[in-house]
Amino acid sequence: MALKAQKVPPAPPRPKPNPTPRTVGQLPQSLRAPPPKRVDLSSPAYKQASKKYVNFMIAMPILLVTSYFLFDRLIVGNEAKTLHKLPTDGHCIEHSEA
C-alpha cells in the first residue's frame, strides 16, 4: 500500500485586535511627564551654565593628570622628570668631543 499525502487545511486567520487610542507601552496622559520646556540659548542662565560646564571639562583632565604625577612623585617616590641641560659652551652634548 502506498501512502498518499494528505492535504492539511490552512490555519484560520487570526482575529485582529480592536484598535485603541492607546498603543502598547504608552502611559495614560495623566501619568506622563510634562513635555520638556524649550531652552533659550541666549539667556544669561544658560550662558553661565554653559561656561561652568566648559570650564569643568577643560579643568578635569588637567587636574587628574597633575594629581597622578604629584602622587607618583610624592608618595611612590619616583624622581621628577627634568630636561637635559646644554653645556655652557653652547654645543650639543652628542656632538661635543670628549
pTM above 0.75, yes or no: no
The pLDDT of residue 61 is 97
Distance CA 66, CA 25 (A): 49
The pLDDT of residue 7 is 83
Distance CA 14, CA 32 (A): 33
Going residue by residue through the chain, which has 98 residues, state the pLDDT in tens, using 9 for 90 and above: 566 777 888 888 887 766 555 556 788 888 888 888 898 999 999 999 999 999 999 999 999 999 999 999 999 988 888 888 776 776 665 655 54
